[in-house]
Structure formats: C-alpha cells, structure tokens
Chain A
C-alpha cells in the first residue's frame, strides 16, 4: 500500500485553488498534487504516492542516516576483526 517515490519539485502552480507541482523523478516529470505540503518549495525533495506529495524529505536527517550506516559498517568490521583475533588467540578446547 506504500509505493512512494522521491522526487524534486521543479515548479509550483495553482490549479483552481489546488496547489499542483511538476516533480522530477530521476528524469521522469509528473504532475503532482502538493495540497498536503503547503510549505514545500521549488528544489525541495518530496515523497509521492498515487500522485500526491505526502511528506517532505528532510535532507539533514537523510545525511545523518547515511552517516550512521557508514559508521556502523566500520564498527561491525572492527568488532569482527576483534572477535577473529580473539578466536585465533584462544587455544582450541
């Protein structure tokens, strides 16, 4: 029920009182209803579901999430190395 895709707002207009926008999804442009995001601006990224923008993508939060992933990877590798070296050091039972 949740197929929603991120796109960049290219332009905004009013259509009979409803806020609409042209949104660019990696090269595909679609007309989208922006009525639920009154504060969205050109250049912002938004999540679109069935032709409606339902959420603005928080770029700072996205960067933070990706940074956490990168660090976790390093941490996981570091712990694996520690465990492997521990295993090597211990005598076999």
Chain B
C-alpha cells in the first residue's frame, strides 16, 4: 500500500536505530500514549532495535485498557436485554467486566454485533426500527469525530431507536495525570499521531513547557516511530523540552477543524474514570445536552451496577508507568492472556500482554 510500505523499509529502520545508538549517552524513559503505537512496536520488534539505554514505557493509550469497569458492566447489562442490539468495535468483546465479557453475553443469547464503523450501527438502527440499537462509543480523540457524526446523522434522520454508551477519553489530561503521579519515571512522550491529526498539536506545547518534557508527535509505522524516538533522544541529550511534529504528512498544528466542530457540537467535557487509574478531571467527553436523548445511560435504567475490580490487578500502576508488568505479583501466575485480571492483559497492545508474550523466548 502506498504511504504505508515505504515506512517499513528494513534498511532505513536499521540506520535510524543506529543513529539513535550513536547519539544516546545515558538512560532515558520514553512513553508512547497510543495503543496503536504500542501494537506497532510489538509487531515489528522496534524496541529490540533500540540501544539498552532507551526504555519504552507503554502508556494508557488504549481505550480498551482504560474504559472503566462500570462502563463495561453497563454495556453488558444493555446487551442482555432482549430488545437491544449492542454494537461495538471488535477490541471490546473480550474485555472482562466484573463477572463476564460481551462474548459471554453473546453466547447466552444477547445480540452483540461487531462493527467496523459507527455508521454501521446507525444503519442497523435504520433497518431494525423495532429494536433499540446501542453503540458502545469508546475511543480517544481519533474516534470522537466518527462517533459524534454518527449521533448527529441519527438525530437528523429521527432515529429514536439509536443511542450511544459513551466512554471518550482525552490524551492531554492523561499526560498531566502521568506527570503528577508519584513514582513517574517518564522523561519524554511520543504523542499520538492520529489523535493529533484530528486535534492538532497546539495542546501539547504548554504541557512540554510545564512539565519540562520533550513531546514529539509520532506516527505508527516503524520508520515514523524510530524517527520520533530519534528526535526525542536528540532533545533529551540536548536538554531541550519542546513540542515537535515528526509526522507532518498527516498532522498539522491546527488539526482537522471540521472534525473538531462536530465534536464541539455533539460532545461536552466531563470528568472521566480511567480503569485502574481513577478519575482524571475533564479527561473525557459526554454527550452534550442538546443530544442527551441519545445517551444510553439515560435511556436505560442502569442503576444498581456495582463494578467489582480484581483487588490483585495493578493495571493502573502499569498504565502510568510506575510499575513494570513483570513486577506485578499476579503477572504470569493467576493473570495471563487467557485468564486476565485486568484490561492490560486482555488487549493485544496492553503492556502486560506485551510483556507476557515477549518474555517467553
């Protein structure tokens, strides 16, 4: 594929890695805040090309990992109802709630459908007027415009049987929370390239200055990641802490303004709980009052849900980079990809699953 294959060139990757080795003089811990970046790092083995001084910390960049347990339990409750069709991205189907996951509810007779796009959920609402179609709208800012436009189109079409269970989260407040958490070892951030393609880069300059950390907007392909890391190390070695855009072919300072406009119309800021981390103020979006009737939390009586997180799960500490998965007492024992205690072991780019698979050779 054009604009993809070129950024996987092996020879160039080796040269970029060699350049990083050449300029690094001491240990640095760099966090990437995009689950897609984590996935790419693992898939291509990028961290193995880096010199031992560079530690990559996998941050809370995967909506699968950070969707609150209570939201999962609410999705399960909605899916169990006979009149509903619960639509979700595939990533969410195996995430454990307090007692089971969406796959189990599907097996017990719940109508759970995997969709590629929120527009597919709107289509289902149109073709199933006698059913309540609920879309589990998770994601970072990258996915927000799509989720927002889906609601807007449903509203325009007068689809009274469509609603959204929202768990949108934002990157900049997460960076704040990470830098404020005691024991944080992060020296620099790779900002999420696709999040920034929507939101622009302007939110990150103040963060770089306030916390004195380099923030380099980085893409997801091997060469993009290595270049982002190279520029980050360059800054760290020089004692700089600036915002840099290493993904200019897709990311601009202002981002996608039509997308931001739809987000502003459909969503409003809200405090959000991040699974394992806790509530981060103003770190999420909820449906704006004008679209309140499309909020599944209002449409369905979901009171009385008490989320029960495993007391032994340390995913919060893993997500903020203060604990390595291998340091968790449950890791590899009662917590494995097949029997996960928390979301970081379920998700293919969760830090715990990544460590588990990497450590076996």
Digitize A40-72: 1 where CB-to-B-CB distance is under 8 Å, 0 elsewhere: 000001010111101101110110111001101
Closest to B247 in A: A65
Q: Give the number of residue pairs across the A-B interface with Cβ within 8 Å.
A: 140
Q: A72 and B19 in contact (CB under 8 A), knowing A2-B192, A8-B2, A35-B258?
A: yes
Would you call A33 an interface residue if the criterion is a C-beta within 8 Å of the partner chain's C-beta atoms?
yes
Would you call B340 an interface residue if the criterion is a C-beta within 8 Å of the partner chain's C-beta atoms?
no
Q: Quick one: which of A1-45 are within 8 Å of B by CB?
A: 1-8, 16-18, 25-26, 33, 35-38, 45
Closest to B118 in A: A50
Digitize B1-38: 1 where CB-to-A-CB distance is under 8 Å, 0 elsewhere: 11110100101100110110010000000000011110
In the assembled complex, which residues on chain A have CB atoms less than 8 Å from the CB atom of B197? 4, 47, 54-55
Q: Are B146 and A1 in contact (CB under 8 A)?
A: no
In the assembled complex, which residues on chain B have CB atoms less than 8 Å from the CB atom of A61? 248-249
Please choose the segment from B137-145, B178-186, B308-316 that sits at the chain A interface, where 4 or more of its residues have CB less than 8 A away: B137-145
Q: Quick one: which of B69-122 are within 8 Å of A by CB?
A: 89, 116-120
Q: Are A80 and B119 in contact (CB under 8 A)?
A: no
Q: Are B16 and A72 in contact (CB under 8 A)?
A: yes
Q: How many residues of A contact B (CB 8 A)?
A: 43
Bound Cα distance from A38 to B2, whole angstroms: 22
Would you call B193 an interface residue if the criterion is a C-beta within 8 Å of the partner chain's C-beta atoms?
yes
Would you call B305 an interface residue if the criterion is a C-beta within 8 Å of the partner chain's C-beta atoms?
no
Say which residue of A49, A50, A62, A79 sits within 8 Å of B3 (CB atoms).
A62
Bound Cα distance from A47 to B220, whole angstroms: 12
Q: A54 and B198 in contact (CB under 8 A), knowing A37-B258, A77-B15?
A: yes
Say which residue of A25, A36, A51, A72 sits within 8 Å of B15 (CB atoms).
A72
CB distance from B248 to the nearest CB of A (A): 5
Q: Are A49 and B146 in contact (CB under 8 A)?
A: yes
Would you call B215 an interface residue if the criterion is a C-beta within 8 Å of the partner chain's C-beta atoms?
no
CB distance from A35 to the nearest CB of B (A): 6
Q: Are B2 and A33 in contact (CB under 8 A)?
A: no
Bound Cα distance from A92 to B50, whole angstroms: 28
Would you call B61 an interface residue if the criterion is a C-beta within 8 Å of the partner chain's C-beta atoms?
yes
In the assembled complex, which residues on chain A have CB atoms less than 8 Å from the CB atom of B146? 33, 49-52
In the assembled complex, which residues on chain B have CB atoms less than 8 Å from the CB atom of A64? 248
Q: Are A80 and B22 in contact (CB under 8 A)?
A: yes
Say which residue of B4, B62, B157 sits within 8 Å of A5 (CB atoms).
B4
**In this complex, which of A2, A16, A61 has the most chain B Cβ atoms within 10 angstroms of its Cβ?**
A2
Q: Are A79 and B22 in contact (CB under 8 A)?
A: yes
CB distance from B280 to the nearest CB of A (A): 16
Say which residue of A18, A51, A62, A76 sits within 8 Å of B22 (CB atoms).
A76
Q: Are A54 and B194 in contact (CB under 8 A)?
A: yes
Closest to A58 in B: B249
Bound Cα distance from A59 to B192, whole angstroms: 21
Q: Are A1 and B63 in contact (CB under 8 A)?
A: yes
Bound Cα distance from A4 to B37, whole angstroms: 11
Q: Are B227 and A69 in contact (CB under 8 A)?
A: yes
CB distance from B230 to the nearest CB of A (A): 8
CB distance from A6 to the nearest CB of B (A): 4
In the assembled complex, which residues on chain B have CB atoms less than 8 Å from the CB atom of A38? 258
CB distance from B3 to the nearest CB of A (A): 4
Say which residue of A2, A51, A57, A58 sits within 8 Å of B194 (CB atoms).
A2
- Other contacts beyond A1-B139, A72-B19: 4, CB < 8 A: A4-B197, A54-B142, A58-B250, A61-B249
Binding site for B on A (CB under 8 A): 1-8, 16-18, 25-26, 33, 35-38, 45, 47, 49-52, 54-55, 57-59, 61-62, 64-66, 69-70, 72-73, 75-77, 79-80
Binding site for A on B (CB under 8 A): 1-4, 6, 9, 11-12, 15-16, 18-19, 22, 34-37, 39, 61-63, 89, 116-120, 139-140, 142-143, 145-146, 149, 153, 156-157, 192-195, 197-198, 220, 223, 227, 248-251, 256, 258-259, 262
5 inter-chain pairs at a CB distance below 8 angstroms, sorted by A residue, are A4-B220, A52-B149, A55-B197, A65-B248, A65-B249
